[in-house]
Amino acid sequence: MIEAIFEIVFEILIQGGAEIIAEVVTHKSRKRKRARGIEPKPMNPVLTGILWLGCGAVMGAGSLVFFPHSFIHSESLRIANLIVTPLVLGAVMALLGRRRLDNGEEIVPLDKFGNAALFAFGMALVRFLFAG
């Protein structure tokens, strides 16, 4: 039982790390654009969700280079990971976004629950399908 918990925690940490990297890159990109006088235009929420799902899938594929095998060995836990990890990471990123708002900072689309959960689901799905 303890082993299963560690397996899930390691998988969440890998995916969470990728999500934080994506968020930091997005924030820095927006700051650079604003410094050059370019104001980001709002995107259609559906397209934004598809974009973050795709970005998560790309990060999932990239993670396979460093972690080619899933930390989760049980097939049923791997399936549960497809649901649990996106919900957990979506909630964590939404909390970070809320904290940024409370501090008067700008938020990016990945600071919202739906986009963060889609990113995590894209990554989890690729890892589920291809990490042995």
Mean pLDDT of 118-126: 96
Confidence class of residue 53 from pLDDT cuts 50, 70 and 90? very high
Q: How does residue 50 score in pLDDT terms, banded at 50, 70 and 90?
A: very high
Percent of the chain residues past pLDDT 90, beyond the cut: 54
Q: Which of 3, 132, 116, 112 is nearest to 59 (CA)?
A: 116
Q: Note if the pTM is more than 0.95.
A: no
